[in-house]
Structure 1
Amino acid sequence: MSTVTIRRGGPADVPAVLAVFDGAVRWLVARGQAGQWGSRPFSSIPETVARAERYARWDGFFVAVGAGQVVGALVVGESSEPVPAPVEPELFVNLLVTDHSDAARGVGALLLEHAAVLAVARGVGVLRLDCYAGNGGGLVRYYERQGFTATETFTVDQPGGPWPGQVLERRLPGRR
């Protein structure tokens, strides 16, 4: 991985983050995995553009920058439906997206570690997230390799069929 820095993001980063999402959608579709995010570029969907603009105003919005460009984004905050409510104080990863170029290799792990540092700084003992559980569970296994443990599952009914979700958690050192 080339030198990557993480900084707080803002509204000016929205076009670059949407471009990373669009690249991720192309990457998934090319692999026959449109079930996760669909096949339309996020930048062409008004709801996803509006969500990115909302996230850009949150204190928990961070971007990873490598070679002068945004190669990943992280949003942390609180969980919401359809994810089961937390049973203890937590920090929740609301969004994680990375570029799929060689220059961005390892950025997802770097952003997740940043989220863990933020959680410890806030005095919470668990970092949670949810992800797509379809396509044979490959994304779930990725998060397990990053130190997360699968907990609850859920399903979201969508026009194209059910979207299987998996909640995962990572217990943080020194916290119980």
Structure 2
Amino acid sequence: MSDQRNLGLRRGGPADAAAVLRLFDDAIAWLGARGRTGQWGTAPASTDTRRIAQAEAWTTGGGLWLATLDDRPVGALVVGAATDYVPPATEPELYVNLLITARDHAGAGIGARLLAHAAELARGRGLDLLRVDCYAGDDGALVRWYERQGFTATDPFTVERPGRDPWPGQVLVRRLP
């Protein structure tokens, strides 16, 4: 487990695409080892052309932040506009497009620290609404994790995926004081 006092936070950029893909690969392997393949499947993100393009877009889009320990990325946050598959917000917001942490540091508060940074970014922009969506399948553990971080589940949704099972999702909101 990491020490929060040693956790750094820095803006990400184009040179960080491989680090984001590594975080995905580790998470996909971790989930797969637990039989939880519905969220991201079983293939490494680093070999998936769609995920590679997504990582490149995130690293060049200006919304990427990395949590680091000893200069090693152990978490990634991407904020920006909401994805097109979720219901639009009825007011200005900051949207969490990605939150992922290194599984070898699970439980160390890295995800919570990145979400706190997202809230700081939103407040700095004069926004009081932070939204995120996540995988709502299996036992709903990820939805419950976001609820423990101060989010409230609002809109469930489903992403149809040709040739694969639909992807169940959940939008969550957090009001910022």
Aligning the two structures, in what range does the TM-score lie when normalised by the shorter sequence? over 0.9
Q: Percent identity?
A: 54
Equivalent residue in structure 2 for 1:17, among 17, 20, 36: 20
Q: How many correspondences in the alignment?
A: 173
- Any stretches of 5+ residues in structure 2 without a counterpart? none
Superposition pairs of residues 1-176 of structure 1, within 5 angstroms: 1-2=2-3, 3-102=6-105, 105-158=108-161, 159-173=163-177
Matched AA of 2:87: P
Cα distance in 2, alignment partners of residues 12 and 95 from structure 1: 17
After the TM superposition, list the runs of 4 or more consecutive aligned residues in structure 1 that deviate by more than 2 angstroms: none
Query: 3-state SS of the aligned residue for 2:79?
Result: strand
Matched AA of 2:126: G
Query: Which stretch of the first structure deviates more once superposed, 155-164 or 26-35?
Result: 155-164
Report how far residue 99 of structure 1 moved.
0.3
Cα distance in 2, alignment partners of residues 81 and 163 from structure 1: 14
Cα distance in 1, alignment partners of residues 148 and 64 from structure 2: 24
Query: 3-state SS of the aligned residue for 1:21?
Result: helix
Cα distance in 1, alignment partners of residues 133 and 105 from structure 2: 25
Matched AA of 2:25: D
Cα distance in 2, alignment partners of residues 153 and 17 from structure 1: 27
**TM-score of the two chains, using structure 2 as the length reference:** 0.95
Deviations 1:102-147 (A, max 9, x none): 3872110000000000000000111000000001110000000000
Report how far residue 58 of structure 1 moved.
1.6
Structure 2 contact 74–105 (Cα < 8 Å) conserved? no
Matched AA of 2:101: T
Cα distance in 1, alignment partners of residues 64 and 107 from structure 2: 18
Cα distance in 2, alignment partners of residues 87 and 102 from structure 1: 36
Aligned residues: CA RMSD: 1.1
Query: 3-state SS of the aligned residue for 1:56?
Result: helix
Structure 1 contact 92–129 (Cα < 8 Å) conserved? yes
**TM-score of the two chains, using structure 1 as the length reference:** 0.95
Cα distance in 1, alignment partners of residues 66 and 128 from structure 2: 24
- Any stretches of 5+ residues in structure 1 without a counterpart? none
Cα distance in 2, alignment partners of residues 93 and 135 from structure 1: 22
Structure 1 contact 116–127 (Cα < 8 Å) conserved? yes
Query: 3-state SS of the aligned residue for 1:161?
Result: coil
